[in-house]
Amino acid sequence: MQKMRTVVQDREVTQDIEAAKKSYRLVEGAIQGLEWLLARNPKEGIHRTGKYWLYNQAGVKIHRIPEITVLYSFTDDEVTLHAIMFRPGS
Whether 27 is in a domain gets the answer yes
**73 inside domain:** yes
Domain of 30 in residue numbering reads as 6-87
Give me the number of domains the chain comprises.
Answer: 1
Residue at 23 is within a domain: yes
**Does any domain span residue 49?**
yes
Residue 72 lies in a domain: yes
pLDDT means per 10 residues, the chain with 90 residues, are 90 97 90 96 95 95 90 97 92
Percentages helix, strand, coil for the chain (3-state, rounded to 5) are 35, 40, 30
Q: What is the pLDDT of residue 62?
A: 85
18 assigned to some structural domain: yes
CATH code for the domain in which residue 39 is found:
3.30.2310.20
For 50, left (φ over 0), alpha (ψ -120 to 50), or beta?
left
Q: What local confidence, expressed as pLDDT, does residue 20 receive?
A: 95
Residue 1 within any structural domain of the chain: no
